[in-house]
Every structure is written in structure tokens, then in C-alpha cells.
Amino acid sequence: MKNFQDEKQRDLSLNKSDGTNKFLTTDQGVKINDDNNSLKVGERGPSLLEDFILREKITHFDHERIPERIVHARGSGAHGFFEVTNPIPELTKAGFLQEMGQTTPVFVRFSTVAGSRGSTDLARDARGFAVKFYTQEGVYDLVGNNIPVFFIQDASKFPDLVHAVKPEPHNEMPQAASAHDTFWDFISLMPESMHMIMWVMSDRAIPRSYRMMEGFGVHTFRLINSNEESVFVKFHWKPKLGTHAVAWDEAQKISGKNPDFHREDLWEAIEMGNFPEWELGIQIIPSEDENKYNFDLLDPTKIVPEEIVPITIIGRMVLNKNPDNFFAETEQIAFHPGHIVPGIDFTNDPLLQGRLFSYTDTQLSRLGSPNFHEIPINRSIAPVHNNQRDGHMRQEINKGRVSYHPNSLGGGCPYQAKIAEGGFASFNERVDAHKVRERSESFNDHFGQARLFFNSQTAEEKSHIVKALRFELGKVETTAIRIRMIGLLSQVDRQLAEKVANGLGAIIPPILETPLNKGVSPENEGGNQESQTIESTVESSDALSMVNNPTNSPTIASRKVAIICSDGVSEAAVKNLKNALKKEDAKACIVAPRLGSIKTDSDGDLSANFSFLTASSVLFDAIYVPHGLDLTTLEKNDEVVEFLNDAYKHCKVIGADGKASKIISNSPFVSQMTDYDPGIVITDEIASATFAQDFITAMTMHRFWQREKNLYN
């Protein structure tokens, strides 16, 4: 079996330089003798124009920025590999999916959508999940999101959607937020967005980590086998660590405490050797079933429920190397849904069709040249031979006089590949219809799957959606927009609309006919009903809930625990939990009133990783207060109190042992507790193995959302 990982690394290394043990030179290779002083007439005199060293350095600096991505500007990436665990030659001839254990190098970029490059990671937003496979047959990009549907059905609405969600043009506010008038104005007039709105108002839009997100290809694609037979597929990435979120209040606080929270989390996990991993699955739909569902497979606002078409796992992806240089790799990587290889093909999804134009076009202004494929991170490991020539920053030096086809002077080279030789051929689909600017009636149901999503959530998750909508619409200043939104929500779920309306001091309006809402009412849901022959209505689906998500596994690997310490802390207690966490690959951090060495009760030293000034409970998954702390001082410390209050409010595990358990049991939140809370782990014992185990078991539950005031109880 060939492993292509090394080839790609070698390719990239062509352009690598770490600058160690090297003379400082100009871009022309001249050694520099003084990089600290510009050339002047006398020590205190004016600078000279002839100072080519100064001019070169400043000119380069002046041009160091390229336009950020119009959308998905804020992102983080990593290298890794994809491995086939279940070959599918009967479905596709794609070379990288043929053999068990076959590996293909990948680069993945995760991103938010709306914010600019320097914006916070924790904005409420969809996340991009873009994977570049460097296959032996060329580059294949699976450019997806962490949400399986999209706001709009037709590419022509994309500029409008993005204009509406971006900061408002007159005052460039707000940054990386959908909670403003123009976004909700657009959405309130765009009922097809209601399914996506359910997802972005849910906790999917505030993930705990990029490593804990599902990924989706969103559109329906085609696979083609060597007999030129095709099936439809939907792509799914399932995270090894489960699908998890933070709380909205927490997300906002993280944005202040550490706007690089997701970027740092991904970077650190890879540096620590906790390599993020996903399984790749496909839903397979036979070609002849294309019109048998009560939704249209070409409609990107619809999912195919897993209960109707289960997911077949075909491989796994591991991210095991951080980029060497953010700009060269993560910023310059150019994804494109149109980068496909033989054996994979598009469908006529009108959103996908528009994307197929957009991505190359955007690279031309972002990367500045049609030669962007020559940038090391974008290079194919399959050899590239064609008659494309010249252009800005051309790297390749094409030899000879022939740059056209057909030719005889070049011996006919490069020549076309027959299909049997791996030449790309589109699926031979027959298309025969009138040219129209219309949308199929089978795209008309805008509420059925929004309702399915809502019905699939736990009571706590529903409550989060209501609160998110109250927050977002509460920031909208135009009352009419709020009312229109409540009207649309009422077509998803009456109770949902009522609860949102209550929070906004509004009432549910009668169903409105908007220009784009013609004839859309619960009665004519299920656009494809006439031809439907496969039962495709499900009432609820666990796969849509994060709490009930079947991908969630009981692991705490790479989770972070804050151990609150001060002088006199029990060394035995700290070591007990630290060791237990280490066995689970979780990370313990000592947080103390000050940095430096903390004296333990047995005269040992613990080194504080953070002070209360530099850390906050929102940056951790769980909090432990060990025996032996200076309780009277700590209890009066506002920062400690805030630390614990936030951890409680954000439904995290809080543990304490020995005398420290007093801090927790006396705290207002625990003393007023009426029900047993398995997330509060307290014992009078010190350094007990049972305590450590209980603490870890509680952490596997991720969060105890039942603690919150739940609007659906």
C-alpha cells in the first residue's frame, strides 16, 4: 500500500525555510550588515533614497496583506490524513476510496462565516468544515459546514444573504454577529431559511471545539463507478469526541477572555498528541429513488433523515500536524467545491451550481492570479500538465515552444486521457427541459424539516433555541421585523413562537403572505407529495440533537480542568485527581491567586499555570476545589466566587473534597438546590479514588443543562 503523506510533505518542503543558522539577506540574496539603522547623511541627518535595504523591507511590509475571504474569513487549519476503512469500489471509481487502509493526505480549514479575519471564534454562526484531499488523481475538496442545510435554495440569493448578515454598511456594526436588523429583515422575508435558522439558533452554532463538530457536505452529490453507474450521496463527518457545545453566556465571555479559543484548542490538541479524528460516512440513495421522497434531494435546505437512509462509514480522518506558517497554508489555501476527481460528481442543486462558479472567481481577487494552484498548499500531488501559461507570479518554467492542443510539434503532448485511463467524465445525465427562471414546487416546504429539527431537541435544547431567538430578535430595533419573524416561527411550532413572543413582549401575528412566501402554509408542506413513494416523514431524530447525539462517546480526552489552589493545598488531593485525569488524557491546570510556586500542605511546590487574573472558568470544562485551601481568604475572593458561579451557571462539573467541599455546599447555588445534581461532586474524604472516578464520570456527561431555568418544563 502506498502512503502519499510523505510525498505531500516533500512537495511542501520545497518552499520551506526556517531561517536558522542563516545570514540575513535581502530578497535578492545580498547579505545584510546592519538591519537596525537606515542609511542617513550623518548620525542625525535625513535618510537616503538609495537605501535599497530599507525600501525593500518597507515595500514588502506595505503589501503583506491580501483581501480576506468575503465569507469564512476567520479560520484555523491543520494537516492530516484520510484512511479508508470500508472501500466502496462498487459505488465509485475515485482512486482514493478503493482499498482498505489506503491513506490520502488532507488539509482541513475550519471557520466561522460572518466575522472578519480577526473576529472571535465563539460568534453564534455556522462553522465551515473544508477538507482538501491531495489524491493521486488530483485535488478533491469537500467544502462543507457543521450544519447540514443552508439558508437559501438558489445561489442568486447568496450575495443578499451575506450583505444582510455582515456588519451594516453605514456604520460597520456589529462584527461577527447576526443579531441585527438587516440579517433578520432578510430572513423574515425568506421562509426557506427557517430550517437553517433552527440550526443556527441551536447550540450547534456555538461549538465547544472544532474537534467536537459534525461536518456535512450539505448538497447531494453523485458517486460514479467504473461501469458509469451513479448513486446519490450525502457526506457526513462524525467526530470521535462527540458533538458538544458551550452555553451562550459562556460563548460571549470566552469571546472577551480568549477570542482565539477554538484556534488555540485545535493547535494545543495537536501539539499534545491528542489528534482530532472524524469518521467519514455517506448516505447512499439509488438513482432511481431520486423523486421518491417528500422533499427534493436537490434542495439544500433539506436533510435526508438518518432514520430513512442510514449512514455507511467509509473512512476516518486524523489531523496530526499543525501548519508551519498560518499565512502560507491556512490563509492561502483555496477550496472549491468544483475540485473533484473521477468517480465523484455534482448534482443540479441550484446552490451548488452557483458555488461552482464562485470559488475560482473569488481566488482571483483574493490570491490575485490564476496561478493560485501553484502555491504549495494548493498544489496537486498528481502531476499537472496542460497548456495554461503565464499570468501573475507564475512558478512553473514550461519548456519548449508548444502551448496548445492539438499539436504535432510537441508530439501531441500533453494528450487527453481516455475514461479507462482515468480521464474525468461527468455523469451522463439526460437533461431536457425549457429554460426558465423558476423554482421547482418540490422545494416549497419550508417548515416541515424545521419542525423535525425542533421536535428532535431535548427540553433544554429547545429552551436554548428560544433564548437565542429572544437574544437575536431582542437586538433588532425594527418591531415589524420581529413580528414577521414570530409569524414565521409560528409556522414551525406554535409553542416556540409563543415563548419567543413572550420574551419580546409581542404577540403572534396571523400568517403573512410575503413576496417569497406565496402559497407556503402548513397545508402544502411536502412539495414532492404526489410522487412520494418512500416514507420520508419522521417525527423526531436523535441525530439532530446534540445531547442525544449517537456520536457522543464517554470520553474526556483533551478536556481541561481548573484545579483551584492556594498555599496549604493538599498535595495528595491534587495529585489524586491530576493522576486520574492524566490516565484519561485530560489536562489539569493549576489556577491560583498568583503565579509562581504554591506551597502544599506537605511542603511541596506546585507551579501555578494561571492566576485568577489570566484565567476564567469559561476556559475550562470542569472545576476542582481541593482540600487544604485557605478557605477564608478564597471564599472572600471575588474572582474565586465568579469562577465557581460561572462554572455552575454554565452547567459544568464542580468537584470538591475534604474541607473544601464546604465552599461548594455553602455556595448560594448548592445551598438552594432542590434536586440532586450529578454534576456537583463533593466528598468529605481526601484524595479518594472514588471521588476521582465520580468526577471523571460526571465530566463524560459534558454539561448538566437541567440546572438551568428551562422554558420547556
Please give the span between the terminal C-alpha atoms of the chain, in angstroms, as a whole number. 56
Instruction: Using the minimum distance from each CB to ligand HDE, give the nearer residue, 161 or 663.
Output: 161
Measured between alpha carbons, how far is 165 from 184 in angstroms, rounded to an integer?
8
**Contact pick of 225, 358, 688, 710 for ligand HDE (by CB under 6 A):** 358
Smallest gap from Cβ 520 to ligand HDE, in A, equals 21
Grid coordinates of 291: 423523486
Does 490 contact ligand HDE by CB under 6 A? no
Residue 326 near ligand HDE by CB under 6 A: no
How far apart (Å, rounded) are the C-alpha atoms in residues 93 and 638?
63
Site string for ligand HDE, 123-142 (x = CB under 6 A): -----x-x------------
- Which window, 7-15, 327-335, 423-431, 455-463, contacts ligand HDE (CB under 6 A)? 327-335
Residue 285 CB, shortest distance to ligand HDE, in Å, is 18
- Closer residue to ligand HDE in complex, CB, 146/541: 146
Please check whether residue 538 is in contact with residue 452, taking contact to mean a CB–CB distance below 8 angstroms. yes
562 touches 623 (CB < 8 A): yes
Q: Taking the complex as a whole, how short is the minimal distance between the CB of residue 127 and ligand HDE, in angstroms?
A: 8
174 cis-preceded (ω within 30 degrees of 0)? yes
In angstroms, what is the minimal distance from the CB of 190 to ligand HDE? 14
499 binds ligand HDE (CB under 6 A): no
* CA atoms of 460 and 261, how far apart (whole Å): 25
Instruction: Candidates 53, 71, 206, 212: give the one binding ligand HDE (CB under 6 A).
Output: 71
Please, which residue, 302 or 355, has the CB nearer to ligand HDE? 355
The interface with ligand HDE within residues 288-317 (CB under 6 A) comprises 300
Q: Which of 106, 318, 351, 485 binds ligand HDE (CB under 6 A)?
A: 351
In terms of CB distance, is 362 or 548 closer to ligand HDE? 362
- How many of the chain's residues bind ligand HDE (CB under 6 A)? 26
Non-local CB neighbours of 699 within 8 Å, separated by 6+ positions: 556, 559, 561, 586, 621, 622, 653
The answer to whether the beta carbons of residues 76 and 70 sit under 8 Å apart is no
Query: Least CB distance from residue 221 to ligand HDE, whole Å?
Result: 11
Kindly tell me which residue out of 144, 281, 323, 628 binds ligand HDE, with binding defined by CB under 6 A.
144
Q: Which of 354, 422, 474, 509 binds ligand HDE (CB under 6 A)?
A: 354
Tracing cell 539577506 back to the chain, one arrives at: 25
Among 92, 103, 104, 111, interactor with ligand HDE by CB under 6 A: 111
Q: Of 74, 355, 451, 484, which one interacts with ligand HDE (CB under 6 A)?
A: 355
- Given candidates 81, 82, 96, 335, which one binds ligand HDE under the rule CB under 6 A? 335
The angle, 0 to 180 degrees and rounded to 10, between the axes of the packed helices 248-257 and 261-271 is 80
Residue among 690, 691, 689, 702 nearest 664 (CA): 691
Distance CA(204)–CA(218), nearest Å, equals 15
DSSP lists the bridge partners of residue 133 as 106, 140
Number of Cβ atoms within 10 Å of the Cβ of 412? 12
Q: Count Cα atoms within 13 angstroms, Cβ side, for 420.
A: 0
627 is catalytic: no
What distance in Å separates the CA atoms of residue 75 and residue 330, rounded to the nearest whole number?
A: 8
Rounded to the nearest whole angstrom, what is the least distance from the CB of residue 326 to ligand HDE in the complex? 13
CB 82 within 8 A of CB 106: yes
φ and ψ of 297, to 5 deg: -60, -20
Is there binding between residue 109 and ligand HDE (CB under 6 A)? yes
Tell me the closest approach of the beta carbon of residue 134 to ligand HDE, in angstroms. Answer: 16
| Interface positions, 172-231, toward ligand HDE (CB under 6 A) | 218
Query: Which residue in the set 81, 107, 150, 210 belongs to the binding site for ligand HDE (CB under 6 A)?
Result: 150
Site residues for ligand HDE, 74-93, by CB under 6 A, read: 75
Amino acid at 387: N
Per CB under 6 A, 362 contacts ligand HDE = yes
Distance between CA atoms of residues 608 and 606, nearest Å? 6
Separation of alpha carbons 72 and 144, rounded Å: 11
Q: Which is nearer to ligand HDE, 161 or 623 (CB)?
A: 161
Q: Distance between CA 350 and CA 649 in Å, rounded?
A: 44
Q: Quote the least distance from Cβ 173 to ligand HDE, whole Å.
A: 22
- Among residues 130 and 139, whose Cβ is nearest to ligand HDE? 130
Three-state SS annotation for 446-511: CCHHHHHHHHCCCHHHHHHHHHHHHHHHHCCCCHHHHHHHHHHHHHHCHHHHHHHHHHHCCCCCCC
> What is the distance, to the nearest Å, from the Cα of residue 573 to the centroid of all Cα atoms in its chain?
37
Known catalytic residue: 549? no
User: Please, which residue, 107 or 248, has the CB nearer to ligand HDE?
Assistant: 107
Is residue 72 a contact residue for ligand HDE (CB under 6 A)? Answer: yes
C-alpha cell at 100: 482498505
Considering the complex, state which of residue 251 and residue 333 has its C-beta at the smaller distance from ligand HDE.
Answer: 333
- Residue with nearest beta carbon to ligand HDE: 128
Neighbours of 156 (CB within 10 A): 12
CB 213 within 8 A of CB 129: yes
Is 233 or 577 the residue whose CB approaches ligand HDE more closely? 233
- Window of 21-29, 150-158, 169-177, 449-457 that interacts with ligand HDE by CB under 6 A: 150-158
User: Count of alpha carbons within 13 Å of 102, Cβ hemisphere only?
Assistant: 18
Whether 589 and 616 have beta carbons less than 8 Å apart is answered as no
Chain positions 41 to 70 lying near ligand HDE, rule: CB under 6 A, are: 69-70
Decide: 591 and 565 in contact? Cβ < 8 Å: yes
* The one among 104, 112, 119, 145 contacting ligand HDE by CB under 6 A: 145
Site for ligand HDE in 521-540 (CB under 6 A): none
Catalytic residue among 21, 36, 72, 576: 72
Give the one residue of 4, 134, 140, 158 binding ligand HDE; rule: CB under 6 A.
158
- The C-alpha atoms of residue 218 and residue 302 are separated, in whole angstroms, by 9
Q: Which of 145, 371, 444, 517 is catalytic?
A: 145
Binding site for ligand HDE (CB under 6 A): 69-72, 75, 109, 111, 128, 130, 143-145, 150, 155, 158, 218, 300, 333-335, 351, 354-355, 358-359, 362
* Residues marked as catalytic: 72, 145
